[in-house]
């Protein structure tokens, strides 16, 4: 019983741990959860150290495991991990099969394509916003032209010509934005 008490106290598995058979304790609450946790921690450490060529992945994984055990979080993880072992195995098997059928490079490529498509959609939104601002400016210039014409004999023809020139320039910019929007929308699959 001394080994069982040491394991229960060290891994902080709770009060029900002391009445559990030793084989169930070792397999369901120590071995299986530890292996699952170490694999998960190793994947997390690898993802954090991506691009860094230090070979300290294993030591960081072990240190993380020790910290989790020492803080008492392991007891919670252990109770859930054996219950969901079948789910972990199915997900792991699914990931294994998917990565054997579809190479990792393709999956990464799909992510890059999706990011680019998202950027294109954002660019279209920006172009449409800019077009809207230019159209409002064009309406304001049309109002200025009408106000100048309403003056009748006192209207300033040079102002009207300047306003028309600005309106024509805005029309050209709006046409250019329309073409850019259409071109960008063709790149995005429906």
DSSP state of 30: I
What pLDDT sits at residue 20? Answer: 80
DSSP state of 40: H
pLDDT digits (tens, 9 = 90+) for 163-182: 888 989 999 999 999 988 88
In the predicted structure, residue 132 carries a pLDDT above the cut 90: yes
Q: How far is Cα 62 from Cα 38, in angstroms, rounded to an integer?
A: 8
Helix (H) or strand (E) holding 56: none
Q: Are 167 and 145 in contact (CB under 8 A)?
A: yes
Q: How far is Cα 9 from Cα 62, in angstroms, rounded to an integer?
A: 20
pLDDT digits (tens, 9 = 90+) for 54-64: 778 888 888 99
Report residue 84: phi and psi, to 5°.
-105, 20
Q: Write out the two tokens for 137.
A: 């400016």
Q: Write out the two tokens for 122.
A: 């954002």
Query: Taking all residues of the chain, what is their mean pLDDT, rounded to a whole number?
Result: 83
The residue with tokens 């972990």 is: 88
Q: How far is Cα 174 from Cα 178, in angstroms, rounded to an integer?
A: 6
In the predicted structure, residue 147 carries a pLDDT above the cut 80: yes
In the predicted structure, residue 1 carries a pLDDT above the cut 60: no
In the predicted structure, residue 37 carries a pLDDT above the cut 80: yes
């Amino acid at each position: 019983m001394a080994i069982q008490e040491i394991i229960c106290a060290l891994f902080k598995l709770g009060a029900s741990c002391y009445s559990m058979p030793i084989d169930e304790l070792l397999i369901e609450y120590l071995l299986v959860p530890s292996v699952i946790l170490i694999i998960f921690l190793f994947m997390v450490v690898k993802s954090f150290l991506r691009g860094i060529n230090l070979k300290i992945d294993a030591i960081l994984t072990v240190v993380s495991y020790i910290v989790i055990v020492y803080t008492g979080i392991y007891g919670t993880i252990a109770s859930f991990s054996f219950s969901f072992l079948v789910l972990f195995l199915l997900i792991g098997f699914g990931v294994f099969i998917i990565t054997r059928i579809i190479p990792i490079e393709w999956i990464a490529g799909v992510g890059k394509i999706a990011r680019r498509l998202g950027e294109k959609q954002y660019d279209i939104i920006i172009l449409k916003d800019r077009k809207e601002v230019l159209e409002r400016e064009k309406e304001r210039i049309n109002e200025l032209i009408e106000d100048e014409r309403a003056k009748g004999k006192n209207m300033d023809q040079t102002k009207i010509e300047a306003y028309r020139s600005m309106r024509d320039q805005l029309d050209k910019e709006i046409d250019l934005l329309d073409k850019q929007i259409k071109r960008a929308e063709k790149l995005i699959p429906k």
